[in-house]
Amino acid sequence: MAKLNFGGVEEEVVTREEFPLEKAREVLKDDVIAVIGYGVQGPGQGLNMKDNGFNVIVGQRKNSKTWDKAVADGWVPGETLFDIEEALEKGTVICYLLSDAAQIALWPTVKKHLTPGKTLYFSHGFGVTYKDQTGIIPPADVDVILVAPKGSGTSLRRLFVEGKGLNSSFAIYQDATGKARERVIAMGIGVGSGYLFQTDFYKEVTSDLTGERGTLMGAIQGIFAAQYEVLRENGHSPSEAFNETVEELTQSLMPLVAENGMDWMYANCSTTAQRGALDWWKPFKEATKPVFEKLYNSVKSGEQAQISITRNSQPDYREKLEVELAELRESEMWKAGATVRSLRPERS
Ligand SMILES: NC(=O)c1ccc[n+]([C@@H]2O[C@H](COP(=O)([O-])OP(=O)(O)OC[C@H]3O[C@@H](n4cnc5c(N)ncnc54)[C@H](O)[C@@H]3O)[C@@H](O)[C@H]2O)c1
Ligand SMILES: CC(C)(O)[C@@H](O)C(=O)O
Ligand SMILES: [Mg+2]
Ligand SMILES: [Mg+2]
């Protein structure tokens, strides 16, 4: 593993150079990798592994939209696409990529097919960390591993196709074969990770649940909405408010942050902007830190997991989510956003 200095802290990471794809293929050459579930991660990881030369099959409910999507993506019924039980039977590595809530309902079926020597693979520490709530307790004679791409399965696939890669964390919960380490790294390389950093199941789930509720998804929408509202309440037009809140960030400034860090983005703005940003980031930090602390505690206590399980286990959870997503989509801010996006020169 390469030792690198992350802001003064030494960490070990696994790069593609030290664990090349050929080695990953060699490690898993006798395996049948069964991707169970074809939502967001299923297609990303499954297609990347297939294109990387691994022996991959998909297990999905027949007569479902996602079965049809799998067929459209090139998986062949009876050859590489099976119903869930058949895929569980054939797979030696079971990639459990159903939604976290659905993993609970299907667990007794999965467990039945986890014969000694098989590998149970997750992309989230959720199921086993919150085992008191999920009932997911793997048998002792299987390897239990995790590769969690740090981003959407959609980006995982897109970046792979572009010859790039998302970073992933990896963890070992149970090493029954003594080979779990090389097998988890081989899976991580196989799904198209740019590099891999080690964690454990607990740290993965607590950081991941915090991140997506926080700056990655929840907090960002909250801050956008607050600023947009203040601008509108003070007489600014929707296009001005949207451009000054979202469009400039995603189109101009975040790419600069991604490329070379925050100070470099600041340095590419006016001295007036820099003065203001340097003065104001601290009050924003102070105002939001208590919310992040509350969030982290709610994750740590298992409350966030329980909410997710309860809400996403209801038979009509999809319809209810769709109503809430539609509320966002139909808000003035995001409707203004749709118009702004349509005006991007590359779209016209
Ligand atoms: N979405 C992401 O990009 C992402 C990123 C990193 C990690 N993860 C993790 O990867 C795993 C899979 O997440 P996802 O977002 O791809 O899942 P998802 O919510 O898209 O659902 C995956 C599949 O579960 C199926 N499903 C739902 N309920 C079912 C049921 N009762 N019986 C059988 N199948 C059912 C759906 O049809 C779908 O094919 C989760 O552990 C998640 O936390 C997801
Ligand atoms: C893509 C995310 C937010 O990183 C993932 O954690 C998820 O749950 O979908
Ligand atoms: Mg997540
Ligand atoms: Mg995540």
Residue 149: nearest ligand to its CA? 1
Which of 57, 64, 119 lies closest to 90, judged by CA?
Answer: 57
Please report the DSSP string for 261-288 in residue order.
-HHHHHHTS-HHHHHHHHHHHHHHHHHH
Assess whether 113 carries a catalytic annotation: no
Residue nearest to atom 6 of ligand 2 (CA): 208
Write the CA distances from 69 to 46, 58, 88, 195, integer angstroms: 13, 11, 20, 29
Helix 41-51 / helix 65-72 crossing angle, nearest 10 deg? 20
- Provide the percentage of residues in the chain whose pLDDT is more than 70: 100
**Count helices and strands in the chain by DSSP H and E runs:** 19, 10
Domain contains 146: yes
Boundaries of domain holding 26:
2-199
**What residues does the ion ligand 3 have nearby, CB within 5 Å?**
208, 212
Q: What is the pLDDT of residue 251?
A: 97
Quote the pLDDT of residue 343. 96
Residue 54: per-residue pLDDT: 98
Closest CA to 198 of 183, 212, 185: 185
Residue 263 has pLDDT above 90, yes or no: yes
The reply to whether 105 and 158 lie within a common domain is yes
Annotated active-site residue in 50, 113, 118, 124 = 124
Q: Can you read off the two tokens belonging to residue 12?
A: 């070990």
Kindly state the tokens that stand for 24.
């990953």
The pTM is what? Answer: 0.97
φ/ψ of 181, rounded to 5, equals -65, -50
pLDDT in tens, 159-178: 999 999 999 999 999 999 99
Buried/exposed code over 149-180 (b: 16+ C-beta within 10 A; e: otherwise): bbeebeebbebbeeeebbebbbbbbbebeeeb
Measured in whole angstroms, the distance separating CA 251 from the mean position of its chain's CA atoms is 22
- pLDDT at res. 1: 79
Report which ligand 2 atom has the smallest distance to the Cα of 212. 3
Query: Do 157 and 270 belong to one domain?
Result: no
Q: What ipTM does the predicted assembly reach? A: 0.97
Residue 87's CB is within 10 A of a number of other CB atoms, namely: 23
- Same domain (yes/no): 193, 54: yes
b/e string for 127-136 if b means 16 or more Cβ within 10 A? bbbbeebbeb
Residues annotated within the binding site for substrate are 270
Distance of CA 272 from the midpoint of ligand 2 (Å): 36
- Are residues 277 and 128 located together in one domain of the fold? no
pLDDT at 48: 98
Given this model, what pLDDT does residue 143 score? 98
Contact criterion met (CB below 8 Å) for 56 and 35: yes
For residues 287 and 332, state if they share a domain: yes
For residue 155, the ligand 1 atom closest to its alpha carbon is: 3
Summarised one tens digit per residue, pLDDT across range 46-77 is 999 999 999 999 999 999 999 999 999 999 99
Which residue is closest in CA terms to ligand 2's atom 2?
151
Give the start-end residues of each E strand in the chain: 2-6, 9-15, 33-36, 56-59, 81-82, 93-96, 119-122, 143-149, 168-174, 195-198
Residue written as token pair 């703005």: 269
Last residue of a domain, one of 199, 221, 244: 199
Q: What is the pLDDT of residues 109-140, one digit of tens each?
A: 999 999 999 999 999 999 999 999 999 999 99
Known binding residues for Mg(2+): 208, 212, 244, 248
Task: State the pLDDT at residue 328.
Answer: 98
Mapped onto helix, strand or coil, the DSSP state of residue 37 is: coil
Distance CA 246, CA 332 (A): 13
What CATH number is attached to the domain comprising 166? Answer: 3.40.50.720
Q: Does the pLDDT value for residue 348 go beyond 90? A: no
Contacts of 198 (CB under 8 A, 6+ apart): 12, 14, 169, 170, 171
Q: Residue 138 domain-assigned?
A: yes
Give the Å distance between the CA of 237 and the centre of ligand 4.
35
Q: What pLDDT is recorded for position 2?
A: 87
- pLDDT score recorded for residue 209: 98
d(CA 185, CA 190): 8
| pLDDT over threshold 90, residue 208 | yes
Which residues form ligand 2's pocket by a CB distance below 6 Å? 151-152, 208, 212, 216
Question: How far apart are the CA of 40 and the centre of ligand 1, in A?
Answer: 6
Take residue 279 and report the two structure tokens written for it.
């003065």
In terms of domains, do 89 and 168 share one? yes
Measure 61 CA to ligand 1 centroid, in angstroms: 13
pLDDT at 257 (0 to 100): 98
What is the number of the ligand 1 atom nearest to the C-alpha of 151? Answer: 5
Which residue lies with its CA nearest to atom 24 of ligand 1? 98
Do 136 and 27 share a structural domain?
yes
- Please count the structural domains in the chain: 2
Asked if 168 and 100 sit in the same domain, the reply is: yes
The residue whose CA has the least distance to atom 3 of ligand 2 is 212
148 pLDDT more than 90 = yes
Averaged pLDDT score across all residues of the chain: 97
- Return binding residues: 208, 212, 244, 248, 270
